[in-house]
């Protein structure tokens, strides 16, 4: 399986997301993690980028998104919030684990 993290430069949510993913896939030989810097509007369209960071699993975004929200901007994950009501800037460890488990 290929897990891609698409992001814009200086996105504060990329490093913690990558750290979570690396921990989750540490013992998985079947997962290839790639990190892609998105720099222009052509890449936004071509890569299926829905804000930074976007996680793709085998080329598909497993988290709900607004299909109109394609731009070089930050992304929020309303699907992955917790009981505090805050909307996180990347999927929680639990949400990532569920997606990775479905893809085994």
Peptide bond into 97 cis (omega under 30): no
Question: Mapping DSSP to helix (H, G, I), strand (E, B) and coil, where does residue 52 land?
Answer: strand
pLDDT given at position 67: 64
pTM, two decimal places: 0.89
Full domain range(s) for residue 45:
2-102
pLDDT given at position 102: 82
pLDDT given at position 8: 96
Under 8 Å between Cβ of 100 and 25: yes
Residue 73, domain CATH: 3.40.30.10
Domains in the chain, number: 1
Q: What is the CA radius of gyration of the chain?
A: 13
H or E segment to which residue 67 belongs: none
DSSP designation for 22: H
Over its length of 104 residues, how does the chain's per-residue pLDDT go in tens digits? 999 999 999 999 999 999 999 999 999 999 999 999 999 988 988 888 889 999 999 999 998 776 666 778 888 887 776 667 778 889 989 999 999 998 66
């Amino acid at each position: 399986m290929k897990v891609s993290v698409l992001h814009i430069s200086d996105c504060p949510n990329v490093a913690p997301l990558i750290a979570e993913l690396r921990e989750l896939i540490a013992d998985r030989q079947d997962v290839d993690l790639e990190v892609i810097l998105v720099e222009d509007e052509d890449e936004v369209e071509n890569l299926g980028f829905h804000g930074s960071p976007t996680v793709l699993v085998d080329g598909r975004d497993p988290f709900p998104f607004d299909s109109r929200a394609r731009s070089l901007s930050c992304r929020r994950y309303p699907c992955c919030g917790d009981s505090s009501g805050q909307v996180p800037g990347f999927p929680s460890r639990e949400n990532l684990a569920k997606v990775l488990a479905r893809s085994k």
